[in-house]
Amino acid sequence: MAYRSWMRSQGFTPEVFDGRPVIGIATTWSELAPCNVHLHRVAESVKRGVWQAGGFPLEFPAMALGETLLRPTSMLYRNLLAMEAEELIRANPLDGVVLLSGCDKTTPGLLMAAASTDLPAIMVTGGPKLSGKYQGTDVGSGTAVWRWEEDILAGRMTPAECAFAESCMSRSDGHCNTMGTASTMASMAEALGMQLPYSASWPAVDSRRYETAQRAGQVIVDLIESDLTPSKIMTRAAFENAIRVNAAIGGSTNAVIHLLAMAGRLGVPLTLDDFDALAADVPTLVNLQPSGQYLMEDFCYAGGLPAVMRELGGLLHRDAITVTGQTVAENVRDAPCWNRDVIRALDAPLQPAGNGTAVLRGNLAPGGAVVKQSAASPHLLKHRGRALVFDSPESYFAVVADPDLDADEDTVLVVRYCGPKGYPGMPEVSNVPLPAKLLQRGVRDIVRICDGRMSGTAYGTVVLHVAPEAAAGGPLALVRTGDWITLDVPSRTLTLEVPEDELARRRAEWTAPPEHATRGWTRLYTDHVLQADTGADLDFLVGASGHQVPRDSH
Ligand code: FES
Protein backbone atom coordinates (compact mmCIF):
# COMPACT_ATOMS: atom_id res chain seq x y z
CA MET A 1 0.00 0.00 0.00
CA ALA A 2 2.79 2.42 0.87
CA TYR A 3 4.47 2.06 -2.53
CA ARG A 4 1.19 2.61 -4.36
CA SER A 5 -0.05 5.43 -2.14
CA TRP A 6 3.03 7.56 -2.63
CA MET A 7 2.97 7.03 -6.38
CA ARG A 8 -0.73 7.94 -6.50
CA SER A 9 0.17 11.47 -5.42
CA GLN A 10 0.89 11.89 -9.15
CA GLY A 11 -2.73 11.08 -9.99
CA PHE A 12 -2.32 7.59 -11.44
CA THR A 13 -5.42 5.38 -11.51
CA PRO A 14 -5.25 2.11 -9.52
CA GLU A 15 -5.05 -0.12 -12.63
CA VAL A 16 -1.45 0.92 -13.34
CA PHE A 17 -0.42 -1.16 -10.32
CA ASP A 18 -1.92 -4.36 -11.73
CA GLY A 19 1.47 -5.93 -12.39
CA ARG A 20 2.12 -4.44 -15.81
CA PRO A 21 5.79 -3.81 -16.65
CA VAL A 22 7.22 -0.65 -15.16
CA ILE A 23 9.34 1.16 -17.71
CA GLY A 24 11.89 3.71 -16.59
CA ILE A 25 12.67 6.48 -19.06
CA ALA A 26 16.13 7.76 -18.24
CA THR A 27 16.36 11.25 -19.66
CA THR A 28 19.44 13.40 -19.94
CA TRP A 29 17.32 16.51 -20.55
CA SER A 30 18.72 19.77 -19.27
CA GLU A 31 18.81 23.40 -20.33
CA LEU A 32 22.52 23.17 -19.60
CA ALA A 33 22.83 20.50 -22.27
CA PRO A 34 21.35 22.29 -25.31
CA CYS A 35 21.73 19.25 -27.57
CA ASN A 36 19.34 17.34 -25.26
CA VAL A 37 16.90 20.12 -24.46
CA HIS A 38 14.03 18.55 -26.44
CA LEU A 39 14.29 15.14 -24.75
CA HIS A 40 11.38 15.91 -22.41
CA ARG A 41 9.19 16.02 -25.56
CA VAL A 42 10.78 12.82 -26.89
CA ALA A 43 9.96 11.23 -23.51
CA GLU A 44 6.27 12.07 -24.00
CA SER A 45 6.31 10.10 -27.26
CA VAL A 46 8.03 7.17 -25.56
CA LYS A 47 5.34 7.23 -22.86
CA ARG A 48 2.59 7.02 -25.50
CA GLY A 49 4.21 3.87 -26.84
CA VAL A 50 4.62 2.32 -23.40
CA TRP A 51 0.99 2.95 -22.47
CA GLN A 52 -0.08 1.63 -25.86
CA ALA A 53 1.81 -1.63 -25.24
CA GLY A 54 0.41 -2.09 -21.74
CA GLY A 55 3.36 -0.80 -19.72
CA PHE A 56 3.60 1.85 -17.02
CA PRO A 57 6.14 4.56 -17.97
CA LEU A 58 8.00 6.64 -15.38
CA GLU A 59 10.50 9.27 -16.48
CA PHE A 60 13.54 10.02 -14.34
CA PRO A 61 16.55 12.30 -14.77
CA ALA A 62 20.06 11.05 -15.35
CA MET A 63 23.04 13.37 -15.36
CA ALA A 64 22.90 15.61 -18.46
CA LEU A 65 26.32 16.13 -19.97
CA GLY A 66 26.47 19.13 -22.28
CA GLU A 67 29.61 19.07 -24.37
CA THR A 68 29.97 22.80 -24.79
CA LEU A 69 29.49 24.06 -21.24
CA LEU A 70 30.98 21.46 -18.91
CA ARG A 71 34.49 22.13 -17.66
CA PRO A 72 37.16 20.87 -17.78
CA THR A 73 35.50 18.40 -20.16
CA SER A 74 32.28 16.41 -20.26
CA MET A 75 34.39 13.25 -20.51
CA LEU A 76 35.33 13.71 -16.85
CA TYR A 77 31.69 12.91 -16.09
CA ARG A 78 30.87 10.11 -18.57
CA ASN A 79 31.70 7.49 -15.95
CA LEU A 80 29.76 9.42 -13.30
CA LEU A 81 26.66 9.42 -15.54
CA ALA A 82 27.19 5.71 -16.16
CA MET A 83 27.51 5.05 -12.43
CA GLU A 84 24.52 7.23 -11.52
CA ALA A 85 22.25 5.72 -14.17
CA GLU A 86 23.36 2.18 -13.27
CA GLU A 87 22.46 2.72 -9.63
CA LEU A 88 19.13 4.40 -10.46
CA ILE A 89 18.13 1.56 -12.80
CA ARG A 90 19.06 -1.04 -10.22
CA ALA A 91 17.69 0.66 -7.13
CA ASN A 92 14.24 1.47 -8.54
CA PRO A 93 11.61 -1.20 -9.19
CA LEU A 94 11.93 -1.16 -12.98
CA ASP A 95 11.36 -3.97 -15.47
CA GLY A 96 12.93 -2.21 -18.42
CA VAL A 97 14.45 1.11 -19.35
CA VAL A 98 14.38 3.50 -22.30
CA LEU A 99 17.57 5.56 -22.54
CA LEU A 100 17.25 9.11 -23.89
CA SER A 101 20.53 10.65 -24.96
CA GLY A 102 22.00 12.97 -27.55
CA CYS A 103 25.09 15.00 -26.75
CA ASP A 104 28.36 13.11 -27.05
CA LYS A 105 28.89 11.42 -23.68
CA THR A 106 25.25 10.81 -22.84
CA THR A 107 24.93 7.92 -25.30
CA PRO A 108 27.94 5.87 -24.13
CA GLY A 109 27.29 6.78 -20.48
CA LEU A 110 23.75 5.38 -20.60
CA LEU A 111 24.77 2.34 -22.63
CA MET A 112 27.50 1.55 -20.08
CA ALA A 113 24.85 1.72 -17.34
CA ALA A 114 22.53 -0.55 -19.31
CA ALA A 115 25.40 -2.98 -19.86
CA SER A 116 26.25 -3.17 -16.16
CA THR A 117 22.65 -3.72 -15.06
CA ASP A 118 21.60 -5.91 -18.00
CA LEU A 119 17.94 -4.98 -17.60
CA PRO A 120 16.04 -4.94 -20.93
CA ALA A 121 16.88 -1.58 -22.49
CA ILE A 122 16.45 0.40 -25.67
CA MET A 123 18.13 3.65 -26.64
CA VAL A 124 16.47 6.64 -28.28
CA THR A 125 18.95 9.31 -29.27
CA GLY A 126 17.62 12.83 -29.75
CA GLY A 127 18.70 13.28 -33.35
CA PRO A 128 20.84 15.86 -35.13
CA LYS A 129 20.14 19.54 -35.71
CA LEU A 130 18.92 20.68 -39.11
CA SER A 131 21.76 21.65 -41.44
CA GLY A 132 23.32 25.02 -40.63
CA LYS A 133 22.94 27.66 -43.33
CA TYR A 134 25.34 30.61 -43.66
CA GLN A 135 25.98 32.86 -46.65
CA GLY A 136 24.33 30.42 -49.02
CA THR A 137 26.26 27.36 -47.88
CA ASP A 138 25.65 24.50 -45.48
CA VAL A 139 27.66 24.69 -42.28
CA GLY A 140 28.25 21.85 -39.88
CA SER A 141 28.23 22.20 -36.11
CA GLY A 142 31.71 22.13 -34.71
CA THR A 143 33.48 21.60 -38.02
CA ALA A 144 32.69 25.20 -39.01
CA VAL A 145 33.88 26.42 -35.61
CA TRP A 146 37.35 25.06 -36.18
CA ARG A 147 37.49 26.70 -39.62
CA TRP A 148 36.08 30.02 -38.40
CA GLU A 149 38.49 30.01 -35.44
CA GLU A 150 41.36 29.83 -37.91
CA ASP A 151 39.70 32.45 -40.13
CA ILE A 152 39.47 34.85 -37.19
CA LEU A 153 43.12 34.22 -36.24
CA ALA A 154 44.17 34.79 -39.84
CA GLY A 155 41.99 37.96 -40.15
CA ARG A 156 39.60 36.44 -42.72
CA MET A 157 36.48 36.79 -40.53
CA THR A 158 35.34 39.72 -38.37
CA PRO A 159 33.86 39.32 -34.87
CA ALA A 160 30.53 40.71 -36.17
CA GLU A 161 30.41 38.09 -38.93
CA CYS A 162 31.23 35.45 -36.35
CA ALA A 163 28.38 36.54 -34.05
CA PHE A 164 25.88 36.30 -36.91
CA ALA A 165 27.23 32.96 -38.05
CA GLU A 166 26.69 31.42 -34.60
CA SER A 167 22.91 31.20 -34.86
CA CYS A 168 23.09 30.20 -38.53
CA MET A 169 25.02 27.13 -37.45
CA SER A 170 22.58 26.14 -34.65
CA ARG A 171 19.07 26.70 -35.94
CA SER A 172 17.07 23.86 -34.37
CA ASP A 173 16.98 21.39 -31.50
CA GLY A 174 19.34 18.47 -31.73
CA HIS A 175 22.93 17.40 -31.39
CA CYS A 176 25.79 18.33 -33.74
CA ASN A 177 24.80 17.73 -37.34
CA THR A 178 28.17 16.56 -38.62
CA MET A 179 29.44 13.00 -38.27
CA GLY A 180 30.91 14.12 -34.95
CA THR A 181 30.89 12.14 -31.76
CA ALA A 182 27.15 12.49 -31.07
CA SER A 183 26.13 11.31 -34.56
CA THR A 184 28.81 8.63 -34.40
CA MET A 185 27.64 7.29 -31.05
CA ALA A 186 23.98 7.40 -32.17
CA SER A 187 25.09 5.35 -35.18
CA MET A 188 27.06 3.01 -32.92
CA ALA A 189 23.96 2.44 -30.77
CA GLU A 190 22.02 1.58 -33.94
CA ALA A 191 24.82 -0.61 -35.34
CA LEU A 192 25.10 -2.45 -32.04
CA GLY A 193 21.39 -3.20 -32.28
CA MET A 194 20.45 -1.08 -29.24
CA GLN A 195 18.23 1.43 -31.02
CA LEU A 196 15.64 1.10 -33.76
CA PRO A 197 16.64 1.35 -37.43
CA TYR A 198 16.85 4.98 -38.66
CA SER A 199 16.98 6.29 -35.08
CA ALA A 200 20.44 7.77 -35.52
CA SER A 201 19.59 9.97 -38.46
CA TRP A 202 16.06 11.40 -38.15
CA PRO A 203 16.60 15.12 -37.48
CA ALA A 204 15.65 16.13 -33.95
CA VAL A 205 12.67 18.11 -35.20
CA ASP A 206 11.42 15.51 -37.71
CA SER A 207 8.04 13.94 -36.93
CA ARG A 208 9.59 10.54 -37.58
CA ARG A 209 11.93 11.08 -34.62
CA TYR A 210 8.84 11.23 -32.41
CA GLU A 211 7.19 8.32 -34.21
CA THR A 212 10.31 6.23 -33.63
CA ALA A 213 10.33 7.24 -29.96
CA GLN A 214 6.73 6.06 -29.63
CA ARG A 215 7.69 2.79 -31.32
CA ALA A 216 10.57 2.39 -28.85
CA GLY A 217 8.06 2.69 -26.03
CA GLN A 218 6.18 -0.27 -27.50
CA VAL A 219 9.32 -2.27 -28.19
CA ILE A 220 10.69 -2.06 -24.64
CA VAL A 221 7.61 -3.93 -23.44
CA ASP A 222 8.31 -6.65 -26.02
CA LEU A 223 11.94 -6.80 -24.91
CA ILE A 224 10.83 -7.55 -21.36
CA GLU A 225 8.51 -10.30 -22.56
CA SER A 226 11.23 -11.92 -24.64
CA ASP A 227 13.93 -11.22 -22.01
CA LEU A 228 16.16 -9.81 -24.72
CA THR A 229 18.69 -8.04 -22.51
CA PRO A 230 21.65 -5.80 -23.48
CA SER A 231 24.18 -8.59 -23.00
CA LYS A 232 22.33 -10.72 -25.56
CA ILE A 233 22.41 -7.87 -28.08
CA MET A 234 25.82 -6.27 -27.44
CA THR A 235 27.92 -9.34 -28.20
CA ARG A 236 31.38 -9.50 -29.74
CA ALA A 237 29.67 -9.78 -33.15
CA ALA A 238 27.70 -6.60 -32.46
CA PHE A 239 30.87 -4.73 -31.51
CA GLU A 240 32.57 -5.95 -34.67
CA ASN A 241 29.59 -4.62 -36.63
CA ALA A 242 29.85 -1.28 -34.83
CA ILE A 243 33.58 -0.96 -35.54
CA ARG A 244 33.05 -1.70 -39.23
CA VAL A 245 30.12 0.71 -39.44
CA ASN A 246 32.27 3.35 -37.74
CA ALA A 247 34.87 2.95 -40.49
CA ALA A 248 32.19 3.18 -43.18
CA ILE A 249 30.65 6.36 -41.79
CA GLY A 250 34.01 8.09 -41.15
CA GLY A 251 33.04 8.19 -37.48
CA SER A 252 34.67 9.90 -34.55
CA THR A 253 37.84 8.65 -32.86
CA ASN A 254 35.92 8.97 -29.59
CA ALA A 255 33.99 5.85 -30.60
CA VAL A 256 37.17 3.88 -29.95
CA ILE A 257 37.26 4.88 -26.29
CA HIS A 258 33.52 4.53 -25.73
CA LEU A 259 33.18 1.12 -27.40
CA LEU A 260 36.16 -0.20 -25.43
CA ALA A 261 34.57 1.01 -22.19
CA MET A 262 31.19 -0.50 -23.09
CA ALA A 263 32.77 -3.83 -24.01
CA GLY A 264 34.59 -3.79 -20.67
CA ARG A 265 31.24 -3.52 -18.88
CA LEU A 266 29.92 -6.56 -20.77
CA GLY A 267 33.02 -8.72 -20.52
CA VAL A 268 33.27 -8.73 -24.32
CA PRO A 269 36.92 -9.13 -25.31
CA LEU A 270 37.82 -6.09 -27.41
CA THR A 271 41.19 -4.40 -27.88
CA LEU A 272 42.51 -1.28 -29.53
CA ASP A 273 44.05 -3.39 -32.27
CA ASP A 274 40.62 -4.78 -33.20
CA PHE A 275 39.70 -1.32 -34.48
CA ASP A 276 42.54 -1.28 -37.00
CA ALA A 277 42.17 -4.94 -38.01
CA LEU A 278 38.38 -4.86 -38.45
CA ALA A 279 38.39 -1.56 -40.33
CA ALA A 280 41.17 -2.62 -42.69
CA ASP A 281 38.81 -3.85 -45.43
CA VAL A 282 36.06 -1.27 -44.93
CA PRO A 283 36.02 1.78 -47.20
CA THR A 284 34.52 5.10 -46.12
CA LEU A 285 31.07 5.20 -47.70
CA VAL A 286 29.46 8.17 -46.03
CA ASN A 287 30.29 11.59 -47.43
CA LEU A 288 29.71 13.66 -44.31
CA GLN A 289 31.71 16.40 -42.62
CA PRO A 290 34.33 16.40 -41.16
CA SER A 291 35.70 13.70 -43.51
CA GLY A 292 33.45 14.66 -46.42
CA GLN A 293 30.93 17.18 -47.63
CA TYR A 294 27.37 16.69 -46.34
CA LEU A 295 25.51 16.82 -43.02
CA MET A 296 23.25 14.49 -41.03
CA GLU A 297 20.06 15.90 -42.57
CA ASP A 298 21.39 14.86 -45.99
CA PHE A 299 22.35 11.48 -44.54
CA CYS A 300 18.79 10.97 -43.33
CA TYR A 301 17.27 11.82 -46.70
CA ALA A 302 19.81 9.55 -48.42
CA GLY A 303 18.67 6.53 -46.44
CA GLY A 304 20.47 6.76 -43.08
CA LEU A 305 22.37 4.00 -41.38
CA PRO A 306 20.24 1.09 -42.67
CA ALA A 307 21.33 1.99 -46.23
CA VAL A 308 24.98 1.90 -45.10
CA MET A 309 24.56 -1.40 -43.29
CA ARG A 310 22.80 -2.93 -46.28
CA GLU A 311 25.66 -1.77 -48.50
CA LEU A 312 28.24 -3.34 -46.16
CA GLY A 313 26.52 -6.68 -46.74
CA GLY A 314 28.77 -9.58 -45.84
CA LEU A 315 31.25 -7.33 -44.04
CA LEU A 316 28.79 -7.36 -41.14
CA HIS A 317 27.56 -10.19 -38.93
CA ARG A 318 24.13 -10.18 -40.48
CA ASP A 319 22.70 -12.65 -37.97
CA ALA A 320 23.34 -10.36 -34.99
CA ILE A 321 20.12 -9.84 -33.02
CA THR A 322 18.78 -6.33 -32.36
CA VAL A 323 16.12 -4.63 -30.23
CA THR A 324 13.58 -5.18 -32.99
CA GLY A 325 13.81 -8.87 -32.16
CA GLN A 326 15.09 -9.34 -35.68
CA THR A 327 18.57 -9.66 -37.09
CA VAL A 328 20.66 -7.01 -38.79
CA ALA A 329 19.96 -8.68 -42.13
CA GLU A 330 16.19 -8.59 -41.54
CA ASN A 331 16.30 -4.95 -40.39
CA VAL A 332 18.17 -3.62 -43.42
CA ARG A 333 17.14 -6.05 -46.17
CA ASP A 334 14.99 -3.50 -48.02
CA ALA A 335 16.74 -0.30 -46.93
CA PRO A 336 16.93 1.97 -49.96
CA CYS A 337 19.64 4.49 -50.82
CA TRP A 338 18.29 7.68 -52.38
CA ASN A 339 21.51 9.60 -52.90
CA ARG A 340 24.68 7.86 -54.00
CA ASP A 341 26.80 10.96 -53.50
CA VAL A 342 25.98 10.99 -49.77
CA ILE A 343 26.05 7.21 -49.21
CA ARG A 344 28.51 5.74 -51.66
CA ALA A 345 28.48 2.21 -53.03
CA LEU A 346 31.12 -0.28 -51.89
CA ASP A 347 32.66 -0.28 -55.34
CA ALA A 348 32.76 3.54 -55.57
CA PRO A 349 33.58 4.67 -52.02
CA LEU A 350 34.44 8.11 -50.72
CA GLN A 351 37.80 6.81 -49.52
CA PRO A 352 39.33 3.39 -50.11
CA ALA A 353 39.46 0.64 -47.50
CA GLY A 354 42.06 1.00 -44.80
CA ASN A 355 41.59 4.75 -44.55
CA GLY A 356 39.74 4.79 -41.23
CA THR A 357 41.13 5.14 -37.73
CA ALA A 358 44.64 3.70 -37.60
CA VAL A 359 46.25 2.37 -34.42
CA LEU A 360 49.89 3.37 -34.02
CA ARG A 361 52.54 1.91 -31.79
CA GLY A 362 56.17 2.63 -31.11
CA ASN A 363 58.49 3.86 -28.39
CA LEU A 364 56.39 7.02 -28.11
CA ALA A 365 53.12 5.13 -27.63
CA PRO A 366 53.78 1.61 -26.32
CA GLY A 367 50.12 1.30 -25.28
CA GLY A 368 48.95 2.64 -28.63
CA ALA A 369 47.67 5.85 -30.18
CA VAL A 370 45.14 6.56 -32.90
CA VAL A 371 44.95 8.79 -35.94
CA LYS A 372 41.85 9.44 -38.01
CA GLN A 373 43.22 9.04 -41.51
CA SER A 374 40.10 10.27 -43.26
CA ALA A 375 40.41 13.63 -41.48
CA ALA A 376 44.20 13.88 -41.96
CA SER A 377 46.27 15.39 -44.76
CA PRO A 378 47.56 12.60 -47.02
CA HIS A 379 50.98 14.24 -47.43
CA LEU A 380 51.55 14.15 -43.65
CA LEU A 381 50.74 10.49 -43.07
CA LYS A 382 54.45 9.73 -43.52
CA HIS A 383 56.35 12.55 -41.88
CA ARG A 384 59.56 13.26 -39.99
CA GLY A 385 59.94 16.50 -38.10
CA ARG A 386 61.32 18.19 -35.03
CA ALA A 387 59.18 18.31 -31.90
CA LEU A 388 57.88 21.55 -30.48
CA VAL A 389 56.68 20.59 -27.01
CA PHE A 390 54.10 22.13 -24.67
CA ASP A 391 53.02 20.80 -21.28
CA SER A 392 49.46 22.09 -21.60
CA PRO A 393 47.16 23.54 -24.25
CA GLU A 394 47.21 26.80 -22.28
CA SER A 395 51.00 27.16 -22.55
CA TYR A 396 50.68 26.65 -26.31
CA PHE A 397 47.82 29.14 -26.64
CA ALA A 398 49.99 31.72 -24.85
CA VAL A 399 52.39 31.74 -27.82
CA VAL A 400 50.16 30.62 -30.70
CA ALA A 401 50.11 34.13 -32.18
CA ASP A 402 53.82 34.81 -31.62
CA PRO A 403 55.34 35.69 -35.00
CA ASP A 404 58.74 34.49 -33.74
CA LEU A 405 57.52 31.02 -32.68
CA ASP A 406 60.09 28.47 -33.86
CA ALA A 407 57.67 26.48 -36.04
CA ASP A 408 57.31 25.66 -39.71
CA GLU A 409 55.28 23.26 -41.82
CA ASP A 410 57.53 20.34 -40.81
CA THR A 411 57.16 20.90 -37.08
CA VAL A 412 55.63 18.12 -35.00
CA LEU A 413 53.59 19.89 -32.35
CA VAL A 414 53.43 17.92 -29.08
CA VAL A 415 50.84 18.95 -26.50
CA ARG A 416 50.90 16.65 -23.47
CA TYR A 417 49.53 16.13 -19.94
CA CYS A 418 46.07 16.06 -21.53
CA GLY A 419 45.24 12.40 -20.82
CA PRO A 420 42.63 10.94 -18.45
CA LYS A 421 44.72 11.70 -15.34
CA GLY A 422 46.76 14.63 -16.61
CA TYR A 423 43.94 17.00 -17.51
CA PRO A 424 41.19 15.11 -15.72
CA GLY A 425 38.77 13.65 -18.22
CA MET A 426 41.05 13.78 -21.25
CA PRO A 427 39.65 16.86 -23.01
CA GLU A 428 39.22 17.38 -26.74
CA VAL A 429 42.21 19.68 -27.11
CA SER A 430 44.48 17.64 -29.35
CA ASN A 431 43.56 19.48 -32.54
CA VAL A 432 44.97 22.79 -31.28
CA PRO A 433 44.92 25.44 -34.03
CA LEU A 434 48.07 25.97 -36.02
CA PRO A 435 50.48 28.75 -35.10
CA ALA A 436 49.10 32.02 -36.50
CA LYS A 437 52.21 32.67 -38.55
CA LEU A 438 51.73 29.37 -40.40
CA LEU A 439 48.03 30.03 -41.00
CA GLN A 440 48.89 33.43 -42.44
CA ARG A 441 51.29 31.71 -44.83
CA GLY A 442 48.49 29.44 -45.99
CA VAL A 443 49.60 26.29 -44.12
CA ARG A 444 46.42 24.38 -43.17
CA ASP A 445 47.80 21.35 -41.34
CA ILE A 446 50.83 20.12 -39.42
CA VAL A 447 51.37 16.92 -37.43
CA ARG A 448 50.12 17.20 -33.87
CA ILE A 449 50.62 14.57 -31.14
CA CYS A 450 48.68 14.52 -27.89
CA ASP A 451 47.51 12.23 -25.09
CA GLY A 452 44.12 13.93 -25.15
CA ARG A 453 41.15 13.49 -27.46
CA MET A 454 39.87 15.35 -30.50
CA SER A 455 36.33 16.45 -31.21
CA GLY A 456 34.60 14.19 -33.68
CA THR A 457 33.83 17.29 -35.72
CA ALA A 458 37.50 18.22 -36.10
CA TYR A 459 40.05 17.45 -38.78
CA GLY A 460 43.80 17.47 -39.21
CA THR A 461 46.77 15.12 -38.93
CA VAL A 462 46.42 14.63 -35.21
CA VAL A 463 47.79 11.63 -33.30
CA LEU A 464 45.52 11.11 -30.31
CA HIS A 465 44.98 9.03 -27.19
CA VAL A 466 48.73 8.39 -26.74
CA ALA A 467 49.03 5.71 -24.08
CA PRO A 468 50.36 5.65 -21.48
CA GLU A 469 49.71 9.36 -21.07
CA ALA A 470 52.44 11.78 -19.92
CA ALA A 471 50.94 12.19 -16.44
CA ALA A 472 51.15 8.42 -15.94
CA GLY A 473 54.84 8.48 -16.86
CA GLY A 474 54.42 7.49 -20.50
CA PRO A 475 57.30 8.19 -22.92
CA LEU A 476 55.42 11.25 -24.20
CA ALA A 477 56.58 12.93 -20.98
CA LEU A 478 60.20 12.47 -22.08
CA VAL A 479 60.05 14.29 -25.44
CA ARG A 480 61.97 17.55 -25.66
CA THR A 481 61.71 20.38 -28.14
CA GLY A 482 64.07 19.66 -31.02
CA ASP A 483 63.81 15.85 -30.82
CA TRP A 484 63.11 14.13 -34.13
CA ILE A 485 59.81 12.25 -34.38
CA THR A 486 58.75 9.98 -37.25
CA LEU A 487 55.11 9.31 -37.98
CA ASP A 488 54.55 6.46 -40.41
CA VAL A 489 50.84 5.71 -40.61
CA PRO A 490 51.12 3.10 -43.40
CA SER A 491 53.52 1.15 -41.12
CA ARG A 492 51.44 2.04 -38.06
CA THR A 493 54.45 3.41 -36.16
CA LEU A 494 55.19 6.47 -34.09
CA THR A 495 58.86 6.79 -33.20
CA LEU A 496 60.79 9.15 -30.99
CA GLU A 497 64.31 9.17 -32.39
CA VAL A 498 66.12 9.37 -29.09
CA PRO A 499 68.45 6.58 -27.92
CA GLU A 500 67.16 4.38 -25.14
CA ASP A 501 69.97 5.36 -22.73
CA GLU A 502 69.06 9.04 -23.15
CA LEU A 503 65.39 8.22 -22.57
CA ALA A 504 66.37 6.31 -19.42
CA ARG A 505 68.30 9.35 -18.20
CA ARG A 506 65.32 11.62 -18.85
CA ARG A 507 62.99 9.14 -17.14
CA ALA A 508 65.13 9.21 -14.01
CA GLU A 509 64.79 13.01 -13.93
CA TRP A 510 61.02 12.99 -14.50
CA THR A 511 58.64 13.71 -11.65
CA ALA A 512 54.90 13.15 -11.72
CA PRO A 513 52.74 16.28 -11.78
CA PRO A 514 50.91 17.20 -8.57
CA GLU A 515 47.43 15.81 -7.88
CA HIS A 516 44.60 17.85 -9.40
CA ALA A 517 42.20 17.35 -6.52
CA THR A 518 42.35 16.17 -2.93
CA ARG A 519 38.66 15.29 -2.66
CA GLY A 520 35.40 14.79 -4.51
CA TRP A 521 34.67 13.22 -7.87
CA THR A 522 37.86 14.45 -9.53
CA ARG A 523 39.92 12.75 -6.82
CA LEU A 524 37.98 9.50 -7.21
CA TYR A 525 38.31 9.78 -10.99
CA THR A 526 42.06 10.43 -11.13
CA ASP A 527 42.74 7.70 -8.57
CA HIS A 528 40.85 5.07 -10.54
CA VAL A 529 40.68 6.03 -14.21
CA LEU A 530 42.18 3.56 -16.69
CA GLN A 531 44.18 4.60 -19.74
CA ALA A 532 42.66 5.45 -23.11
CA ASP A 533 43.68 2.16 -24.71
CA THR A 534 41.15 0.32 -22.52
CA GLY A 535 38.38 2.90 -22.63
CA ALA A 536 39.16 5.25 -19.71
CA ASP A 537 36.56 3.65 -17.46
CA LEU A 538 37.13 3.55 -13.71
CA ASP A 539 38.84 0.35 -12.62
CA PHE A 540 36.07 -0.55 -10.15
CA LEU A 541 33.30 0.03 -12.71
CA VAL A 542 34.55 -2.46 -15.28
CA GLY A 543 32.17 -5.42 -15.49
CA ALA A 544 28.53 -5.83 -14.51
CA SER A 545 26.52 -6.36 -11.33
CA GLY A 546 23.13 -7.23 -12.79
CA HIS A 547 19.84 -5.58 -11.87
CA GLN A 548 19.11 -7.13 -8.48
CA VAL A 549 19.78 -4.87 -5.49
CA PRO A 550 22.51 -6.45 -3.33
CA ARG A 551 20.18 -6.57 -0.30
CA ASP A 552 16.54 -5.58 -0.04
CA SER A 553 16.31 -3.52 3.14
CA HIS A 554 12.50 -3.69 3.31
FE1 FES B 1 26.36 18.35 -28.11
FE2 FES B 1 28.08 18.40 -30.28
S3 FES B 1 27.96 19.76 -28.58
S4 FES B 1 26.57 16.98 -29.76
Q: What is the pLDDT along the chain (554 residues), one digit of tens a residue?
A: 989 999 999 999 999 999 999 999 999 999 999 999 999 999 999 999 999 999 999 999 999 999 999 999 999 999 999 999 999 999 999 999 999 999 999 999 999 999 999 999 999 999 999 999 999 999 998 778 878 888 888 888 998 898 899 889 999 999 999 999 999 999 999 999 999 999 999 999 999 999 999 999 999 999 999 999 999 999 999 999 999 999 999 999 999 999 999 999 999 999 999 999 999 999 999 999 888 899 999 999 999 999 999 999 999 999 999 999 999 999 999 999 999 999 999 999 999 998 888 999 999 999 999 998 888 999 999 999 999 999 999 999 999 999 999 999 999 999 999 999 999 999 988 889 999 999 999 999 999 999 999 887 777 999 999 999 999 999 999 999 999 999 999 999 999 999 999 999 999 999 999 988 999 999 999 999 999 999 999 999 999 999 988 765 44
> What angle separates helix 236-249 from helix 272-279, to the nearest 10 degrees?
60
Atom 3, ligand 1: residue with shortest CA distance: 67
**Does ligand 1 lie within 6 Å of residue 47's CB atom?**
no
**Does ligand 1 lie within 6 Å of residue 175's CB atom?**
yes
**Does ligand 1 lie within 6 Å of residue 130's CB atom?**
no
From the CB of residue 500, how many other CB atoms can be counted at a distance below 10 Å?
8
**Does ligand 1 lie within 6 Å of residue 244's CB atom?**
no
Instruction: Report d(CA 307, CA 248) in Å as an integer.
Output: 11
Which atom in ligand 1 lies closest to the alpha carbon of residue 34?
A: 1
Instruction: Report d(CA 470, CA 448) in Å as an integer.
Output: 15
Which atom in ligand 1 lies closest to the alpha carbon of residue 102?
A: 4
- Spatial strand order of the sheet with 96-101 comes to 56-61, 22-27, 96-101, 121-125
**Does ligand 1 lie within 6 Å of residue 103's CB atom?**
yes
- The contacts of residue 431 (CB under 8 Å, 6+ apart) are 146, 448, 454, 455, 458, 459, 460, 462
Instruction: Report d(CA 272, CA 550) in Å as an integer.
Output: 33
**Does ligand 1 lie within 6 Å of residue 380's CB atom?**
no
Residue 535 near residue 82 (C-beta atoms within 8 A): no
Using a 10 angstrom Cβ sphere, with 0-12 exposed, 13-18 middle and 19 or more buried, the burial of residue 550 is exposed
Residue 234: φ, ψ to 5°: -85, 70
**Does ligand 1 lie within 6 Å of residue 469's CB atom?**
no
Distances (CA, A) of 336 to 192, 206, 303, 319, 428: 20, 19, 6, 20, 36
Instruction: Report d(CA 396, CA 189) in Å as an integer.
Output: 36
Which atom in ligand 1 lies closest to the alpha carbon of residue 33?
A: 1
From the CB of residue 8, how many other CB atoms can be counted at a distance below 10 Å?
13
- The contacts of residue 372 (CB under 8 Å, 6+ apart) are 252, 253, 291, 356, 357, 454, 462, 464
Q: Which amino acid appears at position 218 of this protein? A: Q
